[in-house]
A and B are shown apart, each in its own frame.
Chain A
Amino acid sequence: MTTDRRRLLAGGAGLALAHAAPTGLSRPALAQAPGTGVLKFIPQADLAVTDPIITTAYVSRHHGYAVWDTLYGFDGDFNAQPQMAEGHSVEEDGKRVTIRLRQGLKFHDGEPVRAKDAVASIRRWAARDALGQVLMARTDALEAPDDRTIVFRLKQPFPMLFAALGKPSTPVCFIMPERIAKTDPSQPIREMIGSGPFRWKADERVPGSRIVYEKFADYVPRADGEVSWTAGPKRVHVDRVEWHVIPDAATASNALTNGEIDWWEQPTADLQPVLRRNRNILLEVPDPTGLCGIARFNHLHPPFNNPAIRRALLGSVVQGDFMTAVIGTDRSLWKDGNGFFPPGTPLASDVGMEALTSPRDFEKVKRDLAAAGYKGEKVVLIAASDFPSLNAMAQVGRDMLVKAGMNVEFISTDWGSVVQRRASKEAPARGGWSMFFTFWAGLDMINPGVSQSLRGTGQNAWFGWPTMPKLEELRNAWFDAPDLEAQQKVAREIQQVAFEEVPYLPLGQYFQATAYRRGITGVPKGFPMFWNLQKGT
């Protein structure tokens, strides 16, 4: 592709649509040579849901990338790159987009991958994904005129089309056989048949304990492109990948130290110093977009239905305190100065940041709260005590609210109860809530198209239900922005509005390290994927 790659995802895809000629067709590669060895991996959590479309759980996405493939990949510069797609053409002023599938793609059941499989998969994914919904709303027709051709007939040019099909934020647009992709999007699929580089071994699965993938011998990696995140050739060098679910962090650490396990996705902050001292183990941060903590307000009920009160609380946030509680004092593992887009990503800016970075003055916050009309209403804070990072943020958050003079009721419970209670739209005193804490992967906040917590659609918005028409208007303007510069301009406006409306409090960005045995090479950037890595002796 000759287009400026950064523009594709960050918004310049419009330019790509307008100018892209059919991209160079890739040569089919030879089927892969046999791999060697078994890679033993500890995932961040058990794979509770195996359908990567119905859920937004990250662990299901990682499973998804093993079993299924995507039309477009996503590289380290945040750009979409053809993956199953051989190339594409954009015609009729960007209103007709034709994507051509690579030759020789096969599903694990031996059936060829056809364009109608892709069409059905896009439709199911789009029913569940916010960006997919925008894409389909702007699509007049999505067709498969032959086995290798997918045609989008758009109502208007959609610069984000390739970025949407290749985005790694959940849910990902994985391509499934048509018969599976026709499953109701609210019902989980039951068959794990994909065309990805690994085959799911259903017979070896022990739910909650072990998940096994086997190299798919008929997978044909791209012949061209550079290996970067989910883009480029996916060459598999191991025969099997075994996921061993070890919920206890100390046991996981011991297993890695003892060589019983090769790779531990998310070592806990307290055990990282111990692992760093071990010369047989390497730690690195795979995802530079990190994880961003947020305190979410309930916008339906007092006191946080009042934007002036939400705004006043910005003055009490010390992001460093939250991040230290979550990941420790090592400054290389967290950043403050985190606005509404993750630092280091194309849309991040310093607009309005003084609200978070100016000197903290709790007496002023108290005065501002009083001036905003806060009269001591109870703030019901729900906290997940079984989720260390969320519990840490909640504890610091409670302290912050108390210092600001708010009347806090702290409800510490398990995550399962938090997710149920946060769905309640009742008043806080009647089983509802006022505030909860969570974090999002930076990739899920990288732009307004994917950032759920920036939506302002009221009752249809993410938990907290803010009504912020201005933000929605700007989001739509962002979709239409023709290039990165225009997108950044809209993003700055979005951040300005967000600091006025305050859908949530940004609490900082932290980086989760991954740990693996020395001898493993090619550990990917981004998140766990099992191609291109090799296991030495």
Chain B
Amino acid sequence: MFAYALRRIVATIPVMAVVALFVFSLLYISPGDPAAVIAGDQATPEDVERIRASLGLDRPYLVRFGEWVWHIAQGDLGTSIFTNLPVSTMIAQRIEPTLSLMVITLILAVGIAVPMGVIAAWKQGTWIDRSVMGFAVLGFSVPVFVVGYLLAYVFALELDWLPVQGYTPFSRGIWPWFQNLILPAVALGGVYIALIARITRATMLEVLQQDYIRTARAKGVGQRGILFLHALKNAAVPIVTVIGIGVALLIGGAVVTESVFAIPGLGRLTVDAILRRDYPVIQGVILLFSFTYVLVNLVIDLLYTLFDPRIRY
């Protein structure tokens, strides 16, 4: 398996190279001009042109691409056109809030959605099942920002239990850190809970019809043991797959959630960079997201072997 993991990691290099080429080219041909943004609305075209030249933005595609790739090969993601900070520093500044939000959302979502799906399957056709499915439909249908505003209104403005916005670093204490993340994680988790709960229910229903479940019941295994030891383990492969796919959902959702709750994470960094056409930052962040996604897929593939001994690499 180690050899397999290593092969997969090595295989990420061409994937990342294609992503790099694609991102760079797309940004090159897309409209927008960081020099114009720097110069401001009132600047004359001459001013804009001078700034563009001074930033080297008037150089040919191949020169700029070659330079960027050369730096990437040395582990240098480049420097922001606007802040003059290394892109890696800007990512490092922003990664903690996004990781925190994703981890809490993931724990919250898996912790709630898997039992919900299991119970819904167990109580198929009852009001419990219908309630869980109703919640899942709601979770899919209501946009993250609507849930976010509603939560902020109730729990921050009306009840004054939690802050409306912002982020406190983990180093300043667990509670202040967690306090700022509760509402965003709940808002972001809605879709994710809905997705995992539905898949868990569907897979569990299929597994619960299997012969070995009947055998286990005949042997006198209790309901809890059947659901969580026998059925859930065998239903785990599709559930883990969906959790992995959902990481992409989380990355996309984090952009909206971070804006609604003013969390200084990678999502907002990306949006700001796109609006300003801060090319090095956009390229760096997209490379990071792509790498994360490739890595998550690898981890999921490796997890399959834990749940299904028939799978071997």
Contacts and interface: CB of A to CB of B under 8 A. Distances in A.
A, B assembled together: yes
A347 to B, nearest CB: 19
Q: Which of A170, A247, A413 has the most CB of B within 10 A?
A: A247
B85 interface: yes
Interface string A30-73: 00000000000000001011100011110010000000000000
A260 B166 contact: yes
Contacts of B166: 244, 255, 260
Contact of A248 (B90, B153, B259): B259
Given A56-B42, A416-B277, A206 B93 contact: yes
B157 A209 contact: no
A419 B37 contact: yes
A368 B54 CA distance: 46
B33 interface: yes
A423 B51 CA distance: 13
Nearest to A414: B275
Q: Which of A251, A413, A460 has the most CB of B within 10 A?
A: A251
A254 B41 CA distance: 30
A413 B31 contact: yes
A187 B269 CA distance: 23
A208 interface: yes
Contacts of A438: 41
A190 interface: yes
B76 interface: no
A248 B262 contact: yes
A252 B165 CA distance: 9
A54 B269 contact: no
A475 to B, nearest CB: 15
Contacts of A255: 164-166, 262
A55 B40 contact: yes
A32 to B, nearest CB: 30
B275 A170 contact: no
B157 A254 contact: yes
Given A48-B82, A209-B268, A54 B39 contact: yes
A411 to B, nearest CB: 10
A245 B36 CA distance: 22
A419 B94 CA distance: 28
Contact of B165 (A57, A251, A386): A251
Contact of B260 (A56, A248, A461): A248
A251 B31 contact: no
Nearest to A415: B275
A142 interface: no
Interface in B243-289: 259-262, 264, 268-269, 272, 275-277
A209 B85 CA distance: 15
Contact of A170 (B42, B44, B82): B42
Contacts of A258: 156-157, 160, 163-164
Contacts of A244: 166, 262
A260 B180 CA distance: 12
A186 interface: yes
B259 A460 contact: no
Nearest to B46: A460
A410 interface: no
A452 B37 CA distance: 17
Contact of B276 (A48, A248, A440, A463): A48
B98 to A, nearest CB: 12
Interface string A395-424: 000000000000000000111110111010
B48 interface: yes
A60 B37 CA distance: 12
The bracket for how many chain A residues form the interface is: 35 or more
A400 to B, nearest CB: 22
B268 A461 contact: no
Mostly, the A contact residues are loop
A192 to B, nearest CB: 11
A361 B299 CA distance: 69
B188 interface: no
Contacts of B268: 208-209, 247
A145 interface: no
A416 B275 contact: yes
B80 interface: yes
Contacts of B149: 250
B125 interface: no
Interface in B88-116: 90, 93-94
Contact of B31 (A248, A417, A465): A417
B53 interface: yes
A462 interface: yes
B311 interface: no
Interface in A186-241: 186-188, 190, 206-210
B83 interface: yes
Contact of A463 (B45, B160, B259): B45
Contact of A188 (B41, B45, B84, B276): B84
Contacts of B42: 56, 170, 440, 444, 452, 462
B43 interface: yes
A170 B90 contact: no
A251 B262 contact: yes
Contacts of B77: none
Interface string B143-167: 0000001001100110010011110
A186 B50 contact: yes
A207 B80 contact: yes
Given A56-B43, A386-B275, A420-B36, A251 B82 contact: no
A357 interface: no
A417 B46 CA distance: 18
Contacts of B163: 258, 260
B67 interface: no
A430 B264 CA distance: 40
A419 B259 contact: no
Contacts of B264: 206, 208-210
Contacts of A54: 38-39, 51
A49 B36 CA distance: 12
A522 B84 CA distance: 35
Interface in A235-271: 244-248, 250-252, 254-255, 257-258, 260
A510 B268 CA distance: 30
B311 to A, nearest CB: 43
Contacts of B225: none
A419 B40 CA distance: 9
B40 A208 contact: no
A49 B277 contact: no
B48 A423 contact: yes
A190 B81 CA distance: 12
B43 A208 contact: no
A257 to B, nearest CB: 6
Given A258-B156, A260-B164, A419-B33, A452 B85 contact: no
29 contacts: A46-B272, A48-B37, A48-B82, A48-B276, A54-B38, A54-B51, A56-B40, A56-B42, A128-B47, A185-B50, A186-B50, A207-B82, A210-B264, A251-B259, A251-B260, A251-B261, A254-B152, A255-B165, A255-B166, A255-B262, A258-B160, A416-B36, A419-B33, A423-B45, A423-B48, A444-B42, A452-B44, A460-B44, A462-B44
Interface of B: 31-33, 36-48, 50-51, 53-54, 80, 82-85, 90, 93-94, 149, 152-153, 156-157, 160, 163-166, 259-262, 264, 268-269, 272, 275-277
Given A255-B164, A416-B31, 6 more contacts: A56-B39, A185-B50, A207-B82, A251-B164, A255-B165, A452-B42
- Lowest 4 A-B CB distances belong to which pairs? A56-B40, A209-B264, A56-B42, A419-B36
